[in-house]
Amino acid sequence: MRRLSIAFGLVSTLFTASVAVAQTVSVGNLPGNPNFGFNQTPVTLIDLSNPANASGNLTDASFTWSATPCPAAAKIKFFRPSPNGSFVFLAERGPFDVGSLTSFVFLSPPVAVQAGDLIGITRLTTCGSPVGQTPGAAQGLIGFASDVTFNVTASQGSLFPNATLSARATGNVTQPPPSTEPAAVVPVVGSTPGALGLAFFRTSVQLFNPGSIRMTGRLVYHPAGAPAMAGDPFLSYSLEPGETRAIADLLPAMGLTGLGSLDVFPIVRVFNDAGAGGTTGFVEEAIAPARALVAVETGFLISPPDTALYRFNVGVRTLGSGATIAITVRNSAGTVTRTLTRTYPPNYFEQRDSASFLSGTPIGANESIAVQIVSGSAIVYGATVDNHTNDPSLQLAKTAP
């Protein structure tokens, strides 16, 4: 007996807390034995080795200076690295008076940063200097011969590898307010026999936490044929930093069987498990709500080239506002053969064979289905299954390029 399984990697929590949590965000470092400084004035130095460990609001900073007292000598700055090698200037605070070799300053107002952002420090006068330690972190730091208040590129600066800048900022991790929408949706999951009785569809799950703090959340299952309810079953998870956990068969682990959809983060792999015969299949992507089809947009599905060899189902998952969709079917020559309209409640999922979806007439070979969102938003997909091997494939209804 064949099985269909779904595997996905969870890269973040599904639901966020309603308030900020008492966790610390930090960026930069204070090495124990700083042993070099800088002569150029002005100079801005960016630490490349100790990016922000989370998103949050930075409220204070500490840095080491080579001499004191030095009035109005230093600024603390923050940058966001980009893939093209540039550094986007985010904010600065100061100038600060330097009254001790290691100074502590408040950042007012706090500076909002994202995970991966970088700290910098600027020398404004010839009194004293920022310092660092070498040997230090491999990525080192980069210096620019100015009081940088604009975006800069790596080619404009001087790289100092194997060095650690002595500057650090800390604050509180923040999380966005709760949302009525999940972070992403797996349109279809199941633990159910196939239409021909030759396959059995199952859902296997991999959860992964790539972050540096514990990750918690829920996987919420919504059964097919009914709108989502507050009491829909869910599975809670808690993952330590770097931990990977597998759930061999999701729905039985939740005490469930059937077909439905799952509110969760990417990535999903769908495959046929034929036991000793191995697996075949494809990757099904979890869809962020922002990527769902919305009002006025039209997505397209293409039917199989041979409807005797393949069966074709259509699935619809709406989001918080429900959806009304206008359906237009064209034959292989491009001629419109039928039109109809369907309306769905919020957070609703169904999967139907093509005849049921099209109100009685099955889809023909090489035909197209245009799905226009009249109101609301929805994820629409076509699922093709080989009648001989039960090998599945899935296409999302997407707008034309």
* Tens digits of residue pLDDT in 331-383: 888 889 999 999 999 999 999 999 999 998 889 988 999 999 999 999 999 98
Query: pLDDT digit string (tens) for 202-217?
Result: 777 777 666 666 676 7
Check residue 96 and give its pLDDT.
Answer: 96
- Cβ-defined contacts of 237-243 (< 8 Å, 24+): 237/10, 237/207, 238/214, 239/10, 239/207, 239/208, 239/209, 239/214, 239/215, 240/209, 240/214, 241/209, 241/211, 241/212, 241/213, 241/214, 241/215, 242/209, 242/210, 243/208, 243/209
Beta 70-81 vs 118-123: how paired, if at all? antiparallel
Residue tagged 């080795």 (tokens): 49
User: Does domain 24-173 fall into CATH 2.170.220?
Assistant: no
Is the pLDDT reported for residue 94 higher than 90? Answer: yes
Residue 77 corresponds to which amino acid?
K
Total number of residues shown for the chain = 401
Check residue 194 and give its pLDDT.
Answer: 64
For 59-70, letters b (16+ CB in 10 Å) and e give bbbbbbbbeeeb
Is the pLDDT reported for residue 280 higher than 50? Answer: no
Q: Are 339 and 383 in contact (CB under 8 A)?
A: no
Cα separation, 106 vs 296, whole angstroms: 49
CATH topology of domain 292-401: Hypothetical Protein Tm1070; Chain: A (2.60.290)
Residue tagged 């600024």 (tokens): 75
Check residue 16 and give its pLDDT.
Answer: 29
Domain with CATH 2.60.120 in the chain: 24-173
- Would you tell me how many other CB atoms lie within 10 Å of the CB of residue 330? 16
State yes or no: cis peptide before 176, omega within 30 of 0: no
pTM: 0.48
SS3 of 6, please? strand
Is the pLDDT reported for residue 305 higher than 70? Answer: yes
Domain with CATH 2.60.290.11 in the chain: 292-401
Query: What's the Rg (C-alpha) of the chain?
Result: 28
